[in-house]
Structure 1
Amino acid sequence: MAKNVLGTDLESCSTDPMTGFYRDGCCNTGASDTGLHVVCCVMSAEFLAFSKSRGNDLSTPNPLFRFAGLQPGDRWCLCAARWKEAYDAGQAPDVVLASTHISSLEFASLEELQEHAAE
């Protein structure tokens, strides 16, 4: 079982919408996940606008990828580098620590993640 940033078993992030690189509801990762979709975030209108301004539109539906688009309040496994970029810009969304994969610590410190803890 994968571990979260707290050192315990990784918990589910969301099944509605279904998230995770493997679309299993968890922020699991593996060799094929080059974007490292490992940070379980709670979307906000501010973050969705920030992400769209950086070329990653998460709010517009994309039927080709069976993606309904995200709304404020949705939980989503975000790429670790995108979260850190948002953090550095003062736009980071809240993080569900128990559902955030331990590999996210390669991009952000536990303290940075805890600053935005959703719990």
Structure 2
Amino acid sequence: MAKNVFGEELMICSTEPLTGYYRNGCCETGEDDLGTHTVCAVMTDEFLRFSYNRGNDLITPRPEYSFQGLKAGDKWCLCASRWIEAYKAGCAPKVILEASNEKTLQYISLEELVGFAYV
């Protein structure tokens, strides 16, 4: 069973839109998840523009991948490295700690995450 950053059961991040590396609504990860999609984040326009400008378009719908595109307020499992990039650039989105995988702590401290807790 996957655990969150508190060592408790990993909660669902989002089913609408359906997120997660395995598209099961959870920020679960495994050997095949090279991007480490473990941070459950609440999208903002600022972050979506940042990600777009870094070459990861999360805004444009891609029906061939059953992807409707994201908008501010959507919850999405982000790569830990993208969240760190956004953090360093001053535009990191808020994080749902209970739905963020404990593997995130290998890249980001709990203290940093708590400072960005979505409440």
TM-score (norm 1): 0.97
Structure 1 residue 88, shift from structure 2 partner: 1.0
Q: One-letter code of the match for 2:91? A: Q
TM-score (norm 2): 0.97
1:86 alignment counterpart: 86
2:38 alignment counterpart: 38
1:14 alignment counterpart: 14
Name the CA distance, whole Å, in 1 between partners of 2:63 and 2:107. Answer: 31
Structure 1 residue 62, shift from structure 2 partner: 1.2
Structure 1 residue 64, shift from structure 2 partner: 2.1
Name the CA distance, whole Å, in 2 between partners of 1:106 and 1:88. Answer: 17
SS at match of 1:64: helix
Give structure 1 stretches of 5+ with no counterpart: none
Give structure 2 stretches of 5+ with no counterpart: none
2:69 alignment counterpart: 69
Name the CA distance, whole Å, in 1 between partners of 2:88 and 2:95. Answer: 15
What is the number of equivalent residue pairs in this alignment? 119
Name the CA distance, whole Å, in 1 between partners of 2:5 and 2:89. Answer: 22
1:116 alignment counterpart: 116
Structure 1 residue 7, shift from structure 2 partner: 1.4
Moved over 4 A (4+): none
Name the CA distance, whole Å, in 2 between partners of 1:85 and 1:55. Answer: 13
Question: CA-atom RMSD, angstroms?
Answer: 0.7
Name the CA distance, whole Å, in 2 between partners of 1:32 and 1:8. Answer: 23
